[in-house]
Amino acid sequence: MRYICIETKNFTLAASKVLIGITALGRLTEFIRKTSEIMLNVDRDYLLRDEFVPLANNYNDYLRLMCQLGLLDNIRQGRNTHYFVNDKLKMIGAGTADEEIRKLIKDCILDVVRQRKESVPQERHAIYLLWYYLKLKENGEEPDDAYFNKGHETNAYPMIRFNFTKSLCHFLFEGNLQNELNFLQKWESLL
């Protein structure tokens, strides 16, 4: 299995504390919809970071998460980063219901895994941390912040990583353990 050698202590923060909690992650769908709307109004196939600024107070955290989940691809062009919107994000922007949005985000995660792009710590740690959380639950563990500790920390980072991951899991699966396990099985079939 690809992930056995990867430890959570090798991963930095998945996102800032801004993205902790179901309310904060619930704002992700609105951010995605607004991103899609902006894309319709530009005459190029990418967006620039400045174009995300008016979408949310903490736009950078949402932007980073969208890249980690596979909703956006980013390519550095000199001093600028170009953000490319994928087809699933365009579908979300077309007024899709919340349940369908969660399904499309899960499909994006599986696409990232299928393309073997998920285990680069500085780029996709939100996906890895989600896998780690789901794997702990599959093994009958009740995850807490101790599982997300780097081993030497005395700060809030393990709790932030844990709470972010727990929030992301709840956002995607709404507390349905069977859906979590089914998704994990699909995921691991791709490994």
Q: What is the pLDDT of residues 11-38, one digit of tens each?
A: 555 445 567 777 888 888 888 888 988 8
CB within 8 Å of 98: residues ≥ 6 apart: 29
Give the residue carrying structure tokens 């995605």. Answer: 32
pLDDT of residue 122: 56
Query: What integer pLDDT is reported at residue 12 of this predicted model?
Result: 55
SS3 191: coil
Helix (H, G, I), strand (E, B) or coil at 123: helix
Contacts of 63 (CB under 8 A, 6+ apart): 49, 52, 72, 83
The domain spans of the chain are 8-189
Neighbour tally for 18: CB within 10 Å = 16
Closest Cα partner for 109 from 177, 52, 168? 168
Q: Which residues of the chain have pLDDT under 70?
A: 1-18, 93-95, 119-123, 150-156
pLDDT of residue 47: 93
> What is the structure's pLDDT at 153?
55
